Amino acid sequence: MHPLAILGAATGKLAHYTVSGVVGALIIKNLPAAKPAARKALISGLAGGIVASRWLAEATEEARLKAGDMLAEARSSLGEEVPPPSAVKVENHDHGHEH
């Protein structure tokens, strides 16, 4: 996997967990004493967090695909054969069970 794809995936997960943790802490801290308006604001915040995490996931996937395209283009410019994206190497597939 390309380093940019790994970085993008890690960044997306970190942002997701950060938003989820902050919103979760706010809910646990404020929910019992929350009035209807505060509850509505918390629910809106959760909905915004869900939308943001989906956007981050899409942006991460787009970055991963673009990085893969650039890597394939670089390999083909060197005259190397570019493996298809779904190609999986299974030469040393020994991890403790039989197939």
What is the C-alpha separation between 98 and 79, in angstroms, rounded?
A: 37
**Residue 77 reports pLDDT greater than 70:** yes
pLDDT at residue 88, as a whole number: 53
pTM for the whole thing? 0.46
Banded pLDDT at 8 (limits 50, 70, 90): confident
What is the C-alpha separation between 84 and 68, in angstroms, rounded?
A: 11
pLDDT at residue 83, as a whole number: 73
pLDDT at residue 85, as a whole number: 65
Q: What is the mean pLDDT of the segment spanning 27-39?
A: 68
What is the C-alpha separation between 13 and 59, in angstroms, rounded?
A: 12
pLDDT at residue 1, as a whole number: 59
Q: Cβ distance 49 to 23 under 8 Å?
A: yes
